[in-house]
Amino acid sequence: MTNNLLKGKRGIIFGALNDMSIAWKVAERAVEEGAIITLTNTPVAVRMGTTEELGKKVNAQIIPADATNVADLENVFIKSQEILGGKIDFVLHSIGMSPNVRKKRTYDDLDYDMLQTTLDVSALSFHKMIQVAKKMDAISDGGSIVALSYVAAQRTFFGYNDMADAKSLLESIARSFGYIYGREKNVRINTISQSPTLTTAGSGVKGMDDLMDFSDRMAPLGNASADECANYCIVMFSDLTKKVTMQNLFHDGGFSSMGMSLRAMNQYSEGLEKFKNKDGKIIYG
Ligand SMILES: NC(=O)c1ccc[n+]([C@@H]2O[C@H](COP(=O)([O-])OP(=O)(O)OC[C@H]3O[C@@H](n4cnc5c(N)ncnc54)[C@H](O)[C@@H]3O)[C@@H](O)[C@H]2O)c1
């Protein structure tokens, strides 16, 4: 179904790796809604992933860039404006990566060089892309910038590790830059806090299947899918949300407002046997 919500708009989508990526779904929906877009991801991801397939499907050129590299980001905004024929109306930041999570370093045994990388890739890249865009005046008046976040920015979740700190920083950048860019150019900056979703990045989170089951039982509307997240992004890019800025918008079926649900309680009452060690003590991880 299309409502031409993005008719005539130009966008840049960061982070489509494969057809499970949330960014992939957003790219497809944005084009369905009438936008023209460019795609960008790391040179390695472009080589190894299937971004080219998406490019063909949505008629979008791919501009390889490491989102932690300012020169690369400048190139993305210069080229995108050339290719698309004008200033950019919307940007999606759909980027996350933690070497500590990948290497299974726990939060009380973080490698600090890896932590720097987590923060740089998953949060500072958001600041960098906004600063680059603003200095180049590459975003049109009333444009919209969205990054994807997770509720671990506000509440502690087992296994989310240093990505929780990165998401807190990401959401803070949306507020701090949202003030400045809104005041000067009417540009909106928001984060969408998405349900756990089975993607390449998502599957790196410890206990992802159980986490997804838990949040699905807790949320009155159940987990939000990647397709549903894409729909929300489209609304945020559209002219229907012109006065929404500096917000962290939960897209999680109601999970973040719940304390305990009947469905989760029922599961809990089935017992904790499987979480006990040989001495009968519950292992909390
Ligand atoms: N999957 C979930 O459960 C979930 C839940 C909430 C929020 N999110 C967020 O959604 C976003 C997209 O993740 P996804 O779940 O679609 O997984 P994904 O693995 O498909 O996407 C992550 C992307 O980040 C890109 N990336 C990594 N390092 C980069 C760099 N230096 N420069 C540019 N790009 C880089 C990867 O190549 C990949 O395309 C992330 O911010 C993630 O934290 C995911």
pLDDT at 284 exceeding the cut of 70? no
Confidence of residue 277 (pLDDT cuts 50, 70, 90): confident
What's the Cα-to-Cα distance from 169 to each of 121, 127, 147, rounded to whole Å? 12, 10, 12
pLDDT, the chain, mean: 95
**What percentage of the chain's residues is helix, strand, coil (to nearest 5)?**
50, 15, 35
Residue 120 carries which DSSP code? I
pLDDT band at 285 (very low <50, low <70, confident <90, very high): very low
User: pLDDT at position 247, please?
Assistant: 98
Q: Cα–Cα distance between 239 and 228 in angstroms, integer?
A: 19
pLDDT digits (tens, 9 = 90+) for 63-120: 999 999 999 999 999 999 999 999 999 999 999 999 999 999 999 999 999 999 999 9
CB 37 within 8 A of CB 18: no
221 within some domain: yes
In a domain? residue 64: yes
Of 22, 92, 214, the one to substitute when testing ligand 1's pocket (max ligand atoms within 8 A of C-beta) is 22
89 lies in some domain: yes
Task: Note whether residue 123 is domain-resident.
Answer: yes
Across 25-51, average pLDDT: 96
Quick one: CA torsion of 242, 237, 66, 151, rounded to 10 degrees? 80
Residue 1 lies in a domain: no
Whose Cα sits closest to atom 37 in ligand 1? 45
Report if residue 150 sits inside a domain. Answer: yes
The CATH number given to whatever domain includes residue 257 is 3.40.50.720
**Count of domains observed in the chain:** 1
Nearest C-alpha neighbor of 179 from the set 165, 190, 169: 190
With respect to residue 2, please indicate whether it lies within any of the assigned structural domains: no
d(CA 163, CA 78): 30
Overall average pLDDT of the 33-38 stretch: 98
- Determine the average pLDDT of the residues in 154-167: 96
**Which atom of ligand 1 lies closest to the CA of 170?**
41
Token pair recorded at residue 38: 């460019």
Cβ < 6 A, ligand 1 pocket: 15, 17, 21-23, 41-42, 45, 66-68, 94-97, 121, 148-150, 194, 196-197, 199-202
Atom 17 in ligand 1: residue holding the nearest Cα:
201
Both tokens assigned to 22: 């949330």
Residue 137 lies in a domain: yes
Which residue segment(s) compose the domain that 266 sits in?
Answer: 10-275
